[in-house]
Structure 1
């Protein structure tokens, strides 16, 4: 008799793939208990071997298995220090490297610590909605392997802010305990400075699909989750929540940001102040829209912009592929040029006064460098991991250092916005 989980829809092929993955991950766990520093390179090389097995599963099952693997600590851990050239300070936070994991992977903050240990300079969780919601009907994730791209229409599936707050609160408590030397009694009255910890945590906030007041949803997210975040993000650019992108209009955006900033600033903060507030925008905006957003960002002293979310457009390279006409947001290499162009425009419109996070199509160190030269202080990726696995990270860092040296830059900070100098 077939196992119960196979009866529910998984094929024997997928079951074998899952078993193989489990076996390989177990081997990696064993290896990581030995000489971790010297085995770090081997572990990332080994990840290359089993990464293709994830693609034998349907995309959402593979995504779920990847999150679980990360939460169980089954991904390779980077024990080698980041090259000093890659360190950068933004918003008073020190990033050991500029490469971050974009929101959308760890939606419910299940694997933050272990994802940071893989070697990301920052990890962004979410989008988190106030109330739990299932998102859009399945299937809702589609690979386009010929282009190493993905189309998704998840629709802000989220366990809600209570579940995420519990997980982040537990992490916060563990770090405070470590900072106090391990004595729980010393926790009383101590201030935990997350900026001194390895890795930076961003929390991406969304709204519930049927919420009549988007602003209230974002305010609720701020009140509940900002105490655990190194930075906050208002996501108003997902194409999969009806009406969300309308919030990018000048009047709506200015009103929303001021309301969220007021909610953040009315809370009590220590000497380090509140977490910076960023807005994530779409790549499908007209020039006039970008000018409006830049004007608002400067007027309200917004801390940063993430450029960009997925696109609803379909470049020629996507058309004709099996899943190319699926509705939803397109991510991956076909988005690189579009998102980088929007980012470059925004850098010029804000005169470099608003820190930018370059997101969209990054799948190599050269891609990241292109965004940095176009004005990004930090970069983010997600889809590239689907196709290249964790080894992408050390490969990107090596290539990024090579790009810096080739152009005579001693640090990431020197290269930011170099295309416009």
Structure 2
């Protein structure tokens, strides 16, 4: 019965959804359309049908990752549900955790011009969104409308600074804390988390904050204690670019000192040599298969330097189930979960269950 449902899901994807995407020359419009369809499923109370079609036994394997009890180890990273509009639908699809955002304090449009690029021949994607956001207030209203009490998946809130915020530890920490404050009433202790995003290549000066990592993480930890009156689960996302051994050891030490509980490793590259290897001339960051080897190199070194036992979510280049098994083996024993976004563009929602099966087989 489970295999029949997977085959039906694949057939629906291949016959109806994928051709629709391919006919849309504007890739950002395809992203927007997908969010609209998921939102429609929420509003029309059709999520029980989605859950029946998309979920199986492997979707219900609770585990502790970075202090949060996830429904399963599949994490949908930030960047898909940018405005926290379809968290309930993502839960119905069967993810273990869904990360909304990145959320910034004030609404901003992001970068101008074409912002999404798809490279089917190499199973890759590019984007230069630049933290387009409805702002912290609207995003929190959207999240509340998803009826979080009914959601079994963990929810992560990716937070970052506005474009015009000075890119130093003091000001960026203040922006992150402002966005966190907006979600204070929605945060579910032991289940949800906040992810600090200073890894995007599409906001000028953002990645330079790794030069002030101790101060930044320390300010956010202290500020979160004041805001919430309790220990809040904090995760950090890092890029695969420019990560020397010294830089990685410094990051791991800073996380330990500031009591950050999870590292999300290797999400998007802006490496010009790597992009040139694949003939990519579009601006912005690249994800998907071209990123796989670079992200794996960083993952292996992060795991080797992880003397404090920080949990790791492995991301970067997962487009097929065997990629999940590779990530688990490379980062063993610290890799507790994995993140997939670009792979869903090419494989559809059945990739969630197929990836979870591959994860279990690699144990």
TM range (shorter): 0.7 to 0.9
Tell whether 2:159 aligns with 1:205: yes
Q: Which residue of 2 aligns with 1:54?
A: 21
Q: Deviations over 1:356-404 (max 9, x none)?
A: 1111111222212222221321111111111121122222223333x23
Is residue 258–residue 300 contact of structure 1 (8 Å, CA) maintained in 2? yes
CA 1:260–1:40: 2 relative to 1, 3 Å: same
How far off is 1:87 after superposition? 3.7
- What is the CA–CA distance in structure 2 between the aligned matches of 1:109 and 1:351, rounded to whole Å? 35
Is it true that 1:67 corresponds to 2:27 in the alignment? no
Distance 1:44 1:96 in 2: 23
Question: Against the structure 1 CA distance between its residues 222 and 40, is the aligned structure 2 distance closer, same or farther, given a 3 Å change threshold?
Answer: same
The residue that corresponds to 2:217 in the other structure is 257
- CA gap 1:352/1:369 in 2 versus in 1, 3 angstroms: farther
Q: Alpha-carbon deviation of 1:82?
A: 2.8
Q: Which residue of 2 aligns with 1:28?
A: none
Stretch moving more, 162-171 or 77-86 = 77-86
Residue 195 of structure 2 aligns with which residue?
233
Query: Contact between 2:60 and 2:71, CA under 8 Å: does it hold in 1?
Result: no
The equivalent residue for 2:237 is 280
**How far apart, CA to CA, are the structure 1 residues paired with 2:231 and 2:144?**
17
Partner SS state of residue 301, structure 2: helix
Check whether the contact 1:48–1:391 (CA below 8 A) recurs between aligned residues.
no
8 Å CA contact 1:281–1:307 kept in 2: the answer is yes
In 1, distance between residues paired with 2:131 and 2:305?
30
What is the TM-score of this pair, normalised by structure 1? 0.75
Residues 131 and 175 from structure 1, CA distance in 2 versus in 1: closer, same or farther, beyond 3 angstroms?
A: closer
**For 1:77, which of 46, 50, 67 is the aligned residue?**
50
Give how far 1:54 is off: 0.6
Q: Does 1:397 align with 2:360?
A: no
Q: 1:299 Cα deviation (Å)?
A: 2.1
Residue 363 of structure 1 aligns with which residue? 319
Number of residues of Structure 1 aligned to a counterpart in Structure 2:
342
Which of residues 335, 355, 376 is equivalent to 2:335?
376
Between the aligned partners of 2:50 and 2:231, the Cα distance in structure 1 is 31
Q: 1:293 to 1:201 in 2, by over 3 A?
A: same
| Structure 2 residue 283 is matched with structure 1 residue 327 | yes
8 Å contact kept, 2:56–2:353: no
- Which 10-residue stretch deviates more, 61-70 or 225-234? 225-234
CA, structure 1 residues 389+137, in 2 after alignment: closer, same or farther (shift >3 Å)? same
Does the 8 A contact of 2:84 with 2:139 survive in 1?
Answer: yes
> Displacement, 1:70?
1.4
Shift in alpha-carbon separation, 1:218–1:48, aligned structure 2, 3 A: same
Distance 2:60 2:138 in 1: 38
State the Cα RMSD in Å: 2.5
Query: Given that residues 283 and 342 in structure 1 are in contact (C-alpha distance below 8 angstroms), is that contact kept between their aligned partners in structure 2?
Result: yes
SS of match in other structure, 1:280: strand
- Note the C-alpha offset of 1:36: 12
User: Secondary structure at 1:78's aligned position in 2?
Assistant: helix
Counterpart selection for 2:84 from 109, 116, 122 = 109
> Which secondary structure state, in structure 2, belongs to the residue aligned with residue 208 of structure 1?
coil
Moved more, 346-355 or 110-119: 346-355
Taking structure 2 as the reference length, the TM-score comes to: 0.87
Contact 1:59 1:143 in 2 (8 A): yes
Structure 2 residue ranges without an equivalent (≥5): none
Deviation for aligned residue 1:267: 2.9
**Per-residue deviation at 1:169?**
2.6
Superposed displacement of residue 314, structure 1: 4.3
Q: Does the aligned pair in 2 maintain the 1:147–1:317 contact within 8 Å?
A: no
